[in-house]
Amino acid sequence: MRRMTATFYLLLISELCSLKTAFSEFHFISEKKTYEEAKDYCQTIHTDLATINNMTEMNDLTAFVPNSTIRSWIGLELGNVSRWHWAWSTQNLDFLNWRVGEPKDLGEDSCAAIDPQGEWFESECDTERSFVCQGNSDVPNDYIFVADTKSWRDAQKHCRDLALDLVSVGSAEENKEVRNLSTDQNVWIGLFRDAWKWSDGSQSSFRYWKPQQPNYGNQHCVAAVFKDDGKWNNLNCGSQHSFICQGPSKVSSNTSTTATTPSNNTTNTGDVSASTTQGETFNTTQFSNVTPTGSDFPLTSGNLTLIRENMTWIESLNYCRERHMDLVYVAGQSTQDRVAHMAQHATSSHIWLGLRYTCNFDLWFWSASSTDCYQNWSPGQGPGEHSNECGITGAMVATGGHKWVGLPETQRLNFICQEDCSRI
């Protein structure tokens, strides 16, 4: 799947020269917490733990988190009631065609198949059957019959590897079309039953389990395992992991707080919207209400602001976004010249740009989206170079030719925020 997704993104890059990211609503928090602590944090500071609606969002999230991340909580938890869902998260459950006596409530998880008469029945998901993939749930007759027999989840993986998913059936007419494809076999359709629910109450049916997951017992909360392409694993809710929040910050940068100047030995949560210790109430981040003085005073030019504080790339990104800005996006030579002029006033040897490298897809992208193609890399740096490693992000040399280089995302540098990249 990674190879195919990377190919898609590279084709997109070749046409647009930048990747339009979709994870501005996601916030990675590196501080390890239990599931309930993480949920309380997200509901207090943002909206909730992350809800994932489709494969595009999952790929975006996988590219967004630091490359060293092993696993992080998302907002999926075990509920008390099992419900039927379509694999296509946009498909409503407004048409059913169960065989008499079905469904039979077989267990924690079960899946649905269609028989040669077009009637549905409940089945254990590990049974191997042929199946029908669908390219787009909103496009009629967009079906592909696969004669190979697989378990329900392996069948879904096969469909997803083709950028499809198992078929959803929304009407008697569609049901007849799927039945006609299946000839005289019982085949899988994209209907499944589980008791998992999203913390924010949304009805997304998207699931992205690792093989042999979920398993039950005392493992009622879900984490994305980024060393396994972000696939999901259910875990004991009391275990401690980093986590992903969603939604804008509820904490205003104008909130009156006691703030401290960040230093290299400051404990960082990975998201600069808030900080907390166990048992304390949430307060705004140490960066939210800093009144810079002396050499730390921000230098502003139009919609660009130089922040002469040394922060990691993630801290810098979140600092800017807390103020309804983003890390600077260099759209062309005029912007390069303005940023280079400001960089000369930095107190670090380089300044962070809104550039990030993802080793999952082997490409560079901007945290702000655009269709411009401008680049100013130093020799041996940038796209297609062997120097690219997991965990590097884009920076500009503060002096000389102001070329771009890739540096470890954990390095602490000055940075430039922009108000709105479309006006640069």
Q: 347 to each of 161, 307, 377, how far by Cα in Å?
A: 47, 9, 22
- The fraction of the chain above a pLDDT of 70, given in percent, is 78
Q: Are 367 and 21 in contact (CB under 8 A)?
A: yes
| Average pLDDT estimate for 174-197 | 91
CA distance 63 to 134: 26
For residue 260, the tally of other CB atoms under 10 A from its CB is 11
Q: What is the mean pLDDT of the chain?
A: 78
Q: Running DSSP on this structure, what letter comes out for residue 386?
A: T
Name which residue leads in pLDDT, 297 or 51: 51
CA distance 106 to 108: 7
Does the pTM exceed 0.75?
A: no
Q: Is 140 helix (H, G, I), strand (E, B) or coil?
A: coil
| pLDDT surpasses 50 at 398 | yes
- The fraction of the chain above a pLDDT of 90, given in percent, is 38
Task: Please give the pLDDT value at position 27.
Answer: 86
Task: Please give the pLDDT value at position 99.
Answer: 95
CA distance 311 to 352: 9
Q: 368 to each of 23, 26, 372, how far by Cα in Å?
A: 10, 14, 11
Summarised one tens digit per residue, pLDDT across range 194-241 is 999 999 988 889 999 998 889 878 899 999 999 898 999 999 999 999
Name which residue leads in pLDDT, 331 or 417: 417
Model confidence at 366, pLDDT cuts 50, 70, 90, reads confident
Same fold flag, 26-245 and 294-423: yes
| Average pLDDT estimate for 21-47 | 83
CA angle 23, 422, 312 (to 5 degrees): 50
**Residue 253 in tokens:** 């940068």
Q: How many C-alpha atoms does 363 have within 13 Å on its Cβ side?
A: 24
| Average pLDDT estimate for 379-391 | 76
The CATH number of 26-245, from 3.20.20.70, 3.90.180.10, 3.10.100.10, 3.40.50.1000, is 3.10.100.10
| pLDDT surpasses 50 at 43 | yes
Look at strands 404-408 and 392-397 and give their pairing: antiparallel
Is CATH 3.30.465.10 the right assignment for the domain spanning 294-423?
no
Largest separation between any pair of C-alpha atoms in the chain: 79
CA distance 285 to 260: 9
Residue extents of the structural domains in the chain = 26-245, 294-423
| pLDDT surpasses 90 at 50 | yes
